[in-house]
Structure 1
Amino acid sequence: MTMLYIDCGFGIAGDMFLAAAAGLGVDPAPVAEALRGAGIDVRVSAPVSRVNGFAGRRLAIDCEASQPLRHLPDIAGVIRRLRLNAEVRECAQRAFVRLAEVEAGVHGVPVDHVHFHEVGAVDTLVDVVGAFYALAELGVERTVCSPLPWFNGRVECAHGVLPLPAPATLELMRGKPVQPTDFGQEIVTPTGALIIDQVVDGFVAGPRGVVRSTATGFGTHDLGPDNRGLRLVLLDDWTGEERS
């Protein structure tokens, strides 16, 4: 069995996840190609980046055209037109429904009235679709994760200044283990929390298996000298028997 361990002690965002997946060998270009086929002109790459003395990947998304605010039916239409396998499309659709339900609950509006402001932007479509595409490409059968890092501070968004974790993020963290950190800025984004909510089968202090490969993904925010990025570890199942 192929297992993925998400080490998110220094935070997680959608772009960090896909960047780290690129470090494991997943080419993000087909995700961009599928989105272009669905009517969104975008280019995606994950060049090597060096942060605080460590190498990793950082996602680069190029989309010059201005984008409209989108509702859930608009997002669903884009996903239906993607030329990717059915499981990837179904998982992405389910994730956006979950996000719309969370946003609707936070703001006290019907699901179909939710405007996907930041989360409706092209980069989030890339992140969410890309996450499921990456898991399929890597052949991941089980995903486990470290406890989520707790953080404080304030963030400005379309709804004004919000306490951290942002309300939607906090709702997506419901039922999941957290541990304190000293970070005073957003290190778990709504998209990152959504990916955890949708793909993780369990939370563990560390993985059990034979390490196949590891990779690190960095985000766009400067988190200072303590930033080590998001680390993904791909493992093979281990029964405990000695290997010859």
Structure 2
Amino acid sequence: MRTLYFDCFSGISGDMVIGALIDAGADPFQMEEELKKLNIVEEYTLSWEKVVKNGITSTKFDVILSRKPEHLHEHIHSHEHNHEHSHSNDHSHDHEQSHILDHNEHSHSNSNSHEHHHHHDHRTYKQIVEIINEANFNASVKNMSLAIFKKIGEAEGHIHGLPLEKVHFHEVGAVDSIIDIIGAAILINQLGIQSVLSSAIPTGSGHIHIDHGIYPVPAPATLEILKGVPIAASDIRSELATPTGAAIAAVLAESFCPLPTMTVESIGYGAGTKTFKNHPNVLRIIIGEMQ
């Protein structure tokens, strides 16, 4: 059975998943073509490149939002794109945008600065479901994507006391995270993966600062998503698992276990931008055959 194993020794986020899948041999150009079915292609461009994290060559994936004056308020930031996507106490800023409801406060760094335009449309859960259903993806991609969004929406609804249909995805519903979730589903389907397994999920430690105040790591949405999933202790003072990354693992992994007995066919490393002194900030995926 063709199996994918998430080795989350440095956490997991949506674009770290895509970076790792590309690094393991998935075709990003085919993904880019498939994503055009969403009919939002004018809102973004995609990029991927090889980077080295603490000695490990890996692939960094980015969604770069286009400027659309009718939909965007221009916010030009000088900041580091970290693929744990946290608002953490080391003052780095991530691309996924960790939180959904009105969490628009960003922290900044002077590393890797460039203009970046943040999307402030409010997409409801219902609207995201419609976008996915109308895109004519195959059943596997559609079902994976819908299940991951539902997992995030239910967690946010539970925390904020809202029914699923009332949840507004301000940031996790922004284009970058729609691409992260659906892109991951496209690549997993493309690779012919028949089963998914994962390690326990380290969530990091410390605190994050969002509009609602200073919250502990893991953030409430992430922890809610990871109910029933083994989480791993970590002394790294940063948010290692984001809601999107947590939801991908929670929905797709059939079990959480040490690396299983398998014949390894390919390995991929998906990079975050945040750099830790003695710890490579990458997600490793291992693809192979289990008997």
TM-score normalised to structure 1 length: 0.91
Instruction: Report the equivalent of 2:227.
Output: 174
CA contact (8 A) 2:5 2:285 kept: yes
CA contact (8 A) 1:29 1:43 kept: no
> 1:201: how far off?
0.6
More moved, 200-209 vs 30-39: 30-39
> 1:110: how far off?
2.1
1:151-172 deviations in Å (ceiling 9; x for gaps):
2111233544321100010011
The SS at the match of 1:130 is: helix
Instruction: Report the equivalent of 2:241.
Output: 188
More moved, 128-137 vs 155-164: 155-164
Letter in 2 for 1:56: S
Mind listing any 5+ residue stretches in structure 2 that lack a counterpart?
A: 73-118
Question: In the comparison of the two structures, how many residue pairs are matched?
Answer: 238
Instruction: Report the equivalent of 1:62.
Output: 64
More moved, 181-190 vs 148-157: 148-157
The SS at the match of 2:16 is: helix
> 1:207: how far off?
1.9
Instruction: Report the equivalent of 2:187.
Output: 134
CA contact (8 A) 2:268 2:286 kept: yes
> 1:69: how far off?
1.3
The SS at the match of 1:46 is: strand
Deviating above 4 A after TM superposition, structure 1's stretches of 4 or more consecutive aligned residues are none
Between the aligned residues of both structures, percent identity stands at 33
TM-score normalised to structure 2 length: 0.77
1:16-63 deviations in Å (ceiling 9; x for gaps):
001000011112334433443423122223211111121000002122
CA contact (8 A) 1:18 1:130 kept: yes
Instruction: Report the equivalent of 1:94.
Output: 147
Distance in 2, Cα, partners of 1:90 & 1:147? 24
Q: How does 1:196-235 map to 2 (within 5 A)?
A: 196-235=249-288
Instruction: Report the equivalent of 2:9.
Output: 9
Instruction: Report the equivalent of 1:73.
Output: 126
Instruction: Report the equivalent of 2:99.
Output: none
Instruction: Report the equivalent of 2:90.
Output: none
Distance in 2, Cα, partners of 1:121 & 1:237? 37
Q: How does 1:147-166 map to 2 (within 5 A)?
A: 147-166=200-219
Q: 1:47 aligns with which of 32, 46, 49?
A: 49
CA contact (8 A) 1:34 1:82 kept: no
Distance in 1, Cα, partners of 2:211 & 2:251? 25
Instruction: Report the equivalent of 1:242.
Output: none
Residues 213 and 203 of structure 1: is their aligned pair in 2 closer, same or farther, counting only changes over 3 Å? same
Residues 187 and 154 of structure 1: is their aligned pair in 2 closer, same or farther, counting only changes over 3 Å? same
> 1:198: how far off?
0.8
- Whether 1:113 aligns to 2:115 is no
